[in-house]
Amino acid sequence: MKHIEALILDWAGTVVDYGSIAPTSIFVEAFKRGFDFDITLQEARGPMGMGKWDHINTLLSEPKIRTRWEAKFGRMPTPQDVDHIYETFMPLQIAKVAERAKPIDGTLEVIHKLQASGIKIGSCSGYPNAVMEVLAPAAAEYGYVPDCAIASDDCMSGSRPGPWMALENVQHLGISRVASCVKVDDSIHGITEGLNAGMWTVGIAITGNAVGLSEEEWSALDSSQQQGLARNAYTQLSSAGAHYVIDSLADIEPILQEIESKLARGARP
């Protein structure tokens, strides 16, 4: 490929942590430990892809959650409440993230093949540096070593859905033009990040947040259940503006060939 210069990959649900389980379950636990307040896994998944403080703040701004909060505490949530939940979340996440560092089947082979062909592999995450300092070495033990890793607190302007983490990769990788980058993500906010940065975007449906099941849970479903969840995931990511949607990063090579052809014809995202 002569025109694609880099892939900018999300972490959980895209390369590692099938189903994006690690962050979601910890949000539920942090709310419970911090305030004895219950949120569901589905609610926790809603803002996935954002920086974790912003994620908690967004959850507490959801009308249904705010109503339950006010009924329980007799007041609306405050920024101090967000701080407390975040401070509860962080050590729990750091303790657990390495357990979900194994790359999803098929992703390493594709990544290594692309790196060998000269395509750079960037990465960014809703995780802050304190979590990435645990996750990145754990993933490296399995053989996943991106050429760049940007955490949610590396950018002064903020994190997703803004373009800053994706564009920070462009700078660190020495990319000549943003339109030569492909942003790959399993969350709506991650797709929006790529669009805001002016990149091609590819949504990951089955292995990520849009379905939200572990590999074992997914495999236990019958075909009709899988088809229904897949349909919903594809619709969700397409509606977010993804140029393409695929089941897994392992399936991306035909998409890259199509983007390569479009770039050769002068097309832009």
Q: Enumerate the active-site residues.
A: 10, 52
CB 248 within 8 A of CB 107: yes
Cα 38 to Cα 31: distance, rounded to the nearest angstrom? 6
Q: Which residues share a beta bridge with 121?
A: 7
φ and ψ of 157, to 5 deg: -80, -10
SS3 of 154-190 = CCCCCCCCCCHHHHHHHHHHCCCCHHHEEEEECCHHH
Can you say whether the dihedral through the CA atoms of 125, 129, 134, 138 is positive or negative? positive
The two tokens of residue 102 are: 């194994």
